[in-house]
Chains A and B, each alone.
Chain A
């Protein structure tokens, strides 16, 4: 039946790469969530018990990357871009259209950007890519990440924090805080 099984959780999880550690009773809706998983680390991806991945969740883990998602967490279509290390705690909720990245994936220096564009072109030599900074992202237990939020490299979000819809997070968020807006700021009115 035209591949519908691959997008409705009705596929064989045992086909996942050996470097994926899968907990008990996970729900992984789309097989395609793993299309861009290419970690060479062991493990390169840890999904805890009862983790639920919906929709277009994209586990884009590069060869040196390690992504872990704790027990009972729910991910509704987030894009993870992991070059080094992204750690998601337990009972975390990540809503629609979220992006979480531990690198800019390109240099910020203008001269280096030019070299990167050449090395990255369709027939370029990717071994000539300049150094690219990475910095781990850590999201604590029980955090809720709102619709369309973007969390960038080096950010630690403390346990129980709330990230509002559409917020862009480039700095640490303390435990239990509610951050919203772009640029994100601490907000007192906690609608969580």
Chain B
């Protein structure tokens, strides 16, 4: 396959060949893939109408895969996994959010062998507030909201609001 470049890009690297995205996606730069090392057939799959805005980083290890649904906005999060991260449709992820397998995650190249691969799921129509941290085991139910700066490594029920470190349920939306 011919190298793919973003028409507006300032960074010279091509989009990695194992990254797939649908119609009407916007990615700020191929810089997002500076530490992308997935060797999976599809290391990142994004649906249609997804925005990846400035500062977003896909730091995916050799075994890692990331899936993103449709109409989702990634406003600058870092996603670091050597396992699976699954993000649904109509999701909003704010600035400086980190989604990572490990509480002291490092890029795949830095080599911290022996760390287990994680599994994180962010359901449809959720909001993840600025600087929140989602760690392995985080499963954010449909319609839930994770407050700014919250740290979550557990299952959040659908349509609840969690906040704080450690995060607690602070409201139910229905």
Residues of A within 8 A of B (CB): 1-2, 4, 7-8, 52, 54-55, 74, 76, 93-97, 144-148, 162, 164-167, 180-182, 191-192
Residues from chain A with Cβ under 8 Å of B18 in the complex: none
Question: Roughly how many angstroms separate A170 CA and B84 CA in the complex, as a whole number?
Answer: 35
Min CB distance A189 to B, Å, is 10
Contact: A166 with B151, CB < 8 Å?
yes
Contact of A93 among B35, B78, B104, B131 (CB under 8 A): B104
Residues from chain B with Cβ under 8 Å of A4 in the complex: 11-12
Residues from chain A with Cβ under 8 Å of B47 in the complex: none
B15 at interface (Cβ–Cβ under 8 A)?
A: no
Question: Roughly how many angstroms separate A157 CA and B149 CA in the complex, as a whole number?
Answer: 23
Contact: A96 with B35, CB < 8 Å?
no
Contact: B106 with A164, CB < 8 Å?
no
Contact: A148 with B98, CB < 8 Å?
yes
Contact: A95 with B104, CB < 8 Å?
yes
Contact: A192 with B103, CB < 8 Å?
yes
Contact: A167 with B165, CB < 8 Å?
yes
Residues of B within 8 A of A (CB): 10-12, 31, 34-35, 57, 78, 80, 96, 98, 100, 103-107, 110, 112, 131, 133, 135, 149-151, 153, 164-166
Contact: A76 with B103, CB < 8 Å?
no
Contact: A2 with B10, CB < 8 Å?
yes
Given contacts A147-B105, A180-B166, A181-B166, contact A96 B131 (CB under 8 A): no
| Residue of A with least CB distance to B131 | A148
Residues from chain B with Cβ under 8 Å of A162 in the complex: 103-104
A-B contacts at CB below 8 angstroms, number: 85
Contact: B165 with A74, CB < 8 Å?
no
Residues from chain A with Cβ under 8 Å of B151 in the complex: 148, 164-166, 180-181
Residues from chain A with Cβ under 8 Å of B131 in the complex: 97, 148, 166
Question: Roughly how many angstroms separate A84 CA and B31 CA in the complex, as a whole number?
Answer: 35
Min CB distance B98 to A, Å, is 5
Given contacts A54-B110, A76-B110, A97-B131, contact A165 B78 (CB under 8 A): no
Residues from chain B with Cβ under 8 Å of A94 in the complex: 104
**15 A–B contacts from the bound complex (CB under 8 Å):** A7-B34, A76-B107, A95-B103, A96-B100, A96-B105, A97-B78, A146-B103, A147-B100, A147-B104, A148-B133, A162-B104, A165-B165, A182-B149, A182-B164, A191-B103
| Residue of A with least CB distance to B96 | A97
Min CB distance A6 to B, Å, is 12
Min CB distance B7 to A, Å, is 15
Supplied contacts A2-B10, A148-B98, A165-B135, 4 more A-B pairs, CB within 8 Å:
A54-B106, A74-B106, A96-B98, A147-B104
Question: Roughly how many angstroms separate A2 CA and B151 CA in the complex, as a whole number?
Answer: 38
Contact: B166 with A147, CB < 8 Å?
no
Contact: B35 with A166, CB < 8 Å?
no
Contact of A95 among B10, B105, B153, B166 (CB under 8 A): B105
Residues from chain B with Cβ under 8 Å of A165 in the complex: 98, 103, 133, 135, 151, 165
Contact: B104 with A97, CB < 8 Å?
no
| Residue of A with least CB distance to B164 | A182
